[in-house]
Amino acid sequence: MTTTGKESITLMLTATTGPLTTTTTEPSSTITTTTTTTESSTTTTTETSTTTTTEPSSTITTTTTTIESSTTTTTESSTITTTEPSTTPPVLISLDSIDEVIYGIHGTKINQDSQASQSGESHNQYHPSAPPANACDGDTSTKYLHFGWCQSDQWEVYCGLDTGFYLELKRGASLVTGLQICTANDRESRDPLTVSLEGSNQSGSSLTLGSSWNLIYNGPSGLETDPGRLTCGIMQLINNSIQYKSYRFLVTSKRDIENSVQYSELKLFGY
C-alpha cells in the first residue's frame, strides 16, 4: 500500500488601492471627487487523499480534490463639491469728466472724426440752455438738445441726427456693459431711437480723430416705447470686455419729424 499524505495549499491575494482624490477647476465651478477602491481575493486549494492499493487481483486508486474560492471586491465612495462664483451686478458709472469738460459734437458718424459744436440756435449747434453737460449730471430735470443739420425753425426727420458728445472719465478706465437713456421734459418726437457708443484710451486732441474710437454698441436706445417724460428707458446690455477711459455717444435716429434731438440723461453701467 502506498499513501500520499494530505497536502494543503493556501493562496491569499489582497490588493488595496488607497484613496484617490481628483480636483477639477473650471471657470464656473470647482468639482472635488474622492474615490476609494478595495479589492480582496482569497483562493484556497486543498488536495487530499490519494491512495493506491495493490492486491493480488486488483488495483484501486482514489483521488479527492477540494477547491474553495472566496472573493471580496470593491468599495467605492464619491464626494462632489461644486462652488459657483459670486456675480456682482453692474453699477452706475460716474460721468464726471476730467477738467469737467464734455464736448458736444455734430455731423459725426461711427469711426469718423468728431466735429465740435457750439451753443446757439442754428445749424450744428446745441441750445444755449441745454448743453451736453446736462446729459451727464444725474438730473433728469435738465436736458441736452442739439439741432444738428437744422436750425431752430426747421423741421425735418434728420434734424439733430449724428450729434452727441464725448468725454474722458475722471475715474479712469472703466468697463461698460450697459447703457440707459432718459427722456426730457417735452416733445417725445425728439427722443433718440437708435444710438451708438464708442470707447477709447486716448486723451485730449486725439479724441477728435475717428481712428481713436472703438465701437462697442450700435443699436436701440431703449425708448422704442415711449416711457413718458423725464423717465429712463430700458437698459441696453453691451457685450464688452475692454475697459476704456473715454467714451463717445451719438444719436443716429429719432422718433419723429422735429427740429432737434433731446434727452435728459445718458447712464452707463459696468465696473
Note whether residue 83 is domain-resident: no
Query: What's the pLDDT at 80?
Result: 34
Query: What's the pLDDT at 61?
Result: 42
Note whether residue 24 is domain-resident: no
The total domain count for the chain is 1
Rounded CA-CA distance 35/77 in Å is 5
Query: What's the pLDDT at 109?
Result: 98
Note whether residue 215 is domain-resident: yes
Rounded CA-CA distance 101/142 in Å is 17
Note whether residue 79 is domain-resident: no
Query: What's the Cα-to-Cα distance from 73 to each of 12, 13, 70, rounded to whole Å?
Result: 14, 12, 10
Predicted model pTM: 0.69
User: Which residue(s) pair with 146 in the sheet?
Assistant: 126, 261
Q: Are 231 and 143 in contact (CB under 8 A)?
A: no
Note whether residue 227 is domain-resident: yes
Query: What's the pLDDT at 87?
Result: 75
Query: What's the Cα-to-Cα distance from 166 to each of 85, 100, 253, 266, rounded to whole Å?
Result: 35, 12, 18, 12
Query: What's the pLDDT at 22?
Result: 35
Query: What's the pLDDT at 129?
Result: 98
Range(s) of the domain holding residue 148: 93-270
Q: What is the CATH number of the domain that holds 136?
A: 2.60.120.260
E strands of 108-210, at which residues?
Answer: 115-116, 118-119, 125-126, 144-146, 163-168, 176-182, 192-200
Note whether residue 34 is domain-resident: no
Q: Of 106, 101, 108, which is closest to residue 126 (Cα–Cα)?
A: 106
Rounded CA-CA distance 202/213 in Å is 8
Give the model confidence (pLDDT) of 101-124 as tens digits: 999 999 999 999 999 999 999 999
Q: Which amino acid is at 140?
A: T
Please state the separation of Cα 10 from the chain's center in Å.
Answer: 65
Note whether residue 126 is domain-resident: yes
Note whether residue 57 is domain-resident: no
Q: Which residues of the chain, if any, have pLDDT below 70?
A: 1-86
